[in-house]
Amino acid sequence: MPPKKKTTKLDKVAQNLSRTLLQFISGKRYNPMTIRELELQLNIAPMHKERFKTVVKELMQLGHLVLKKGKLDIPRPEQKLCIGPISIHRKGFGFVKATEGPDIFIPKHLVGEAVDGDTVEVQVSPVVSVKGPEGEVVAIVKRSRTHVAGIVLHKSQEHYTAYAPLIGKEKLLSITAKGTALKEGDRIICKVLNWKNNDDLVEGELSRKIGHISDPSIDIDAAIEEFGLPSTFTKEAIAEAKRFSKRVTIDNSRLDLTEEQCVTIDPDTARDFDDAISLTQDTKGHFHLGVHIADAAYYVRPGSHLDQEAFIRCNSTYFPGRCVPMLPEELSNELCSLKPKVQRLTISVLAEFDQEGTLIQYKIARSVIKSKKRFTYKEAYAVLQKKSKSIYSPLLNRMVDLCNLLKQKRFERGSIDFAMPDDVILVNEKGEPLRIERVEYDITHQMIEEFMLKANELVAIHLAKKGKSLIYRIHEEPTAESFQDFYTLARSLGFQLPTTPTNHDIQKLFANAKESPFAGQLSVSFIRSMRLAQYSPDNIGHYGLALEHYCHFTSPIRRYTDLIIERLLTDELPDNTDIQAVAAACSEKERLSFKAETSVVNLKKMRLAHTFFTQDPSRIYTAQITKIKPFALFFEVPIFDLESSLHISQIGNDYFEYNPHKMSFRGARSGLTYSIGQTIHVRLDKIDFLMQETQWMLVNAPDTIAKKERRRK
């Protein structure tokens, strides 16, 4: 037997260096580095640096490492490259819309120099996470913008430093103003000269000043500039809209429904009424539903200036107290708005249902109606609650009956009903927030939603049967892994779920949670677990609604996809229309509008909180814990509908241990526990309008609340 070879100390050093190096480079978050950068990162001792370099060469010779552009990496399988627009989340990560297949998830550290809306080249990794296939931005193909909006933070020498919400907190702007004096808090638009300089700043020059962050009247104007929303129409488009007579012209080929008892039901502030409802019941007990949608396609012809302007926008954008419309007001608020007591051109979906809510037959036709009454949701609800009298009370009661039948059908096919209230922030003429009003998702909202869903479904089925290529509203089925956080949350709140829950298990969960204080929290968590719905010519169904065929048809005044569907129904869509391009553009503009709306709403909420803070800086607020991560506790302050967080170091003089199964913190010495759904008390410490964030302090409950809690216990 040959003698065993002794392992020298030097060999052990080499083995340790080799193992440490390969483990580090093989890590998921590793970015290629030079040998010098690796020495610093791995803290290689000076006495071992030469041996380290030798180990690197040996690993390269063995094929375990490769050198690319002077940086080391492990050999990786050939990776797919794709090009598409990137959508950046406010937390820094992004998604790239692939030409085929699911969107590609881009982790925050692999976004590179891309900003929201850029067209990027992505190297797709073989890694597939809960969020889908992952990738890395390797090149910027086309910038989405030449200008960005920012808020001035301070002046340094000849330059101003500014924060641009669109780019994020990690990368600030360095602005030259060319003689214009700026001050802290000025909201500006600047032209980008260089997306990254030696100080890792974005260089730009001032284009114009919008106003100051202290002025709430410019919040919407600033958002329009920041997100690049077109807010004015061309002269040609306005001229086209004004050429139409204020009185509608009736074509004899249209179905005359002017004698039908049609009504509209919309929010208090609505001005564009694009849908009306009629509903009768025959002697057999069958329901005859009419969903009448504004015939915007009659006015907005393909290729016209109005059509071009509508496609630039793809949708209307709704801010607190103001709408940036897809169509000029001459159409959106007048000719296409189904106002009461005047004739309006419509496309009607007429459907018959039996006493169990089963569809018997349907018909789709161009029509003309005369709405008999404009209800707000509140007015309709008051009639149903017998708090107000109306000759349309029988009609509204029939709507409730059919709504309940359709809801039951939807439940049976596996759709989940959240019925979540909506918080609306009300502002005055100056843009100052007055209060947050909670709009309950009562039966009036539910019945209009059910009728719109049924009309959209029938239109999608109708066009598909005719062999038409249409734009579907699709919603991909999420992976089981993406629901793990939701399952953990539900179980931590005491709800029972099997190991692999079905849709009916989830339905049962929400039914049990409906009257609990956790219903809203569970709904939000469930929605966040799902992928976003989008537009596509490829029909993969709608998971959330549990439908095989679904499209958007019922809002052609404010959605371009609905206008396209109307043209398909009337055989007026040009053959050369690129349905794929229209679907992609509408999905992208929808996300952009949502970001713009959210940015203004959040700023208004902060302004409302600032008003309270000015009046009483010591005021204590009740909050609810919404999420717990190993490093922080997240909570919501209901009075302002604001979300924030506290780092683990801010929650008490104790060592808090994180329990991933219960999603909770527990103090090692005190035994104090913080868990999801728990009520806590916080005090507002600071509002930073420049960086648009709030800071809070955890405090004890006020004496009055503490006494009530002790009595209750």
Q: Topology of 616-712 in CATH?
A: OB fold (Dihydrolipoamide Acetyltransferase, E2P) (2.40.50)
Give the pLDDT mean for 438-450: 94
Architecture of domain 9-73 in this structure = Orthogonal Bundle (1.10)
pTM to 2 decimal places: 0.83
Cβ count near 353 (within 10 Å): 23
* Distance between CA atoms of residues 664 and 627, nearest Å: 9
* Distance between CA atoms of residues 603 and 219, nearest Å: 8
Q: Write out pLDDT tens, residues 363-375.
A: 999 999 999 999 9
Question: Which three-class secondary structure string do you get for 502-545?
Answer: CHHHHHHHHHHHCCCCCHHHHHHHHHHHCCCCEEECCCCCECCC
Q: Examine the pLDDT at 6 and tell me if it is beyond 50.
A: no
The domain covering 80-142 belongs, at the CATH homologous superfamily level, to: Nucleic acid-binding proteins (2.40.50.140)
Q: Tell me, what's the pLDDT at 311?
A: 97
* Distance between CA atoms of residues 592 and 666, nearest Å: 41
Q: Write out pLDDT tens, residues 145-193.
A: 888 899 999 988 778 999 988 887 777 888 998 878 899 999 999 999 9
Q: Tell me, what's the pLDDT at 29?
A: 67
**Rounded mean pLDDT of the chain?**
89
Q: Examine the pLDDT at 644 and tell me if it is beyond 90.
A: yes
Q: Considering only residues 20 and 292, tell me which one the structure prediction assigns the higher pLDDT.
A: 292
Q: Write out pLDDT tens, residues 202-226.
A: 899 999 999 999 999 999 999 998 8
* Distance between CA atoms of residues 518 and 713, nearest Å: 20
3-state secondary structure of 311: helix
3-state secondary structure of 673: strand
Beta bridge partner(s), residue 287:
281, 353
Q: By the 8 A CB rule, do 425 and 601 touch?
A: yes
Q: Tell me, what's the pLDDT at 13?
A: 78
Q: Considering only residues 600 and 28, tell me which one the structure prediction assigns the higher pLDDT.
A: 600
Residue type, 429: E
Residue 678 phi, psi dihedral angles, 5° rounding = -70, 145
Q: Considering only residues 259 and 75, tell me which one the structure prediction assigns the higher pLDDT.
A: 259
Give the pLDDT mean for 1-23: 66
What Cα–Cα distance (Å) separates residue 494 from each residue in 347, 500, 508? 49, 17, 14
Q: Tell me, what's the pLDDT at 449?
A: 96
* Distance between CA atoms of residues 266 and 377, nearest Å: 6
Residue whose structure tokens are 């296939």: 133
First to last CA, the chain: 78
Residues ≥6 apart with Cβ < 8 Å to 111: 86, 88, 92, 93, 94, 137
3-state secondary structure of 299: helix
Instruction: Take residue 306 and report the two structure tokens written for it.
Output: 């109005």
Q: By the 8 A CB rule, do 290 and 260 touch?
A: yes
Q: Domain spans of the chain?
A: 9-73, 80-142, 147-214, 235-476+531-597, 616-712
Domains 80-142 and 147-214 share a fold: yes
Residue 188 phi, psi dihedral angles, 5° rounding = -130, 160
Q: Examine the pLDDT at 488 and tell me if it is beyond 50.
A: yes
What is the per-residue burial (b if ≥16 Cβ within 10 Å, else e) of 624-659? bbbbbeeebbebbbebbbbebbbebeebbeeebeee
CA 650, 651, 655, 656 torsion-angle sign: negative
Give the pLDDT mean for 474-492: 82
Residues ≥6 apart with Cβ < 8 Å to 167: 115, 148, 173, 202
**H or E stretch covering 140:** strand 132-142
Give the closest residue to 379 by CA, choosing from 417, 340, 419, 405.
340
Q: Topology of 147-214 in CATH?
A: OB fold (Dihydrolipoamide Acetyltransferase, E2P) (2.40.50)
Percent of the residues in the chain that have a pLDDT greater than 70, as a whole number: 95
Give the closest residue to 226 by CA, choosing from 190, 185, 201, 178.
190
What Cα–Cα distance (Å) separates residue 389 from each residue in 70, 381, 392, 396, 501? 80, 11, 9, 12, 46
Question: Which three-class secondary structure string do you get for 422-454?
Answer: EEEEEECCCCCEEEEEEECCCHHHHHHHHHHHH
Give the closest residue to 330 by CA, choosing from 215, 233, 438, 403.
233
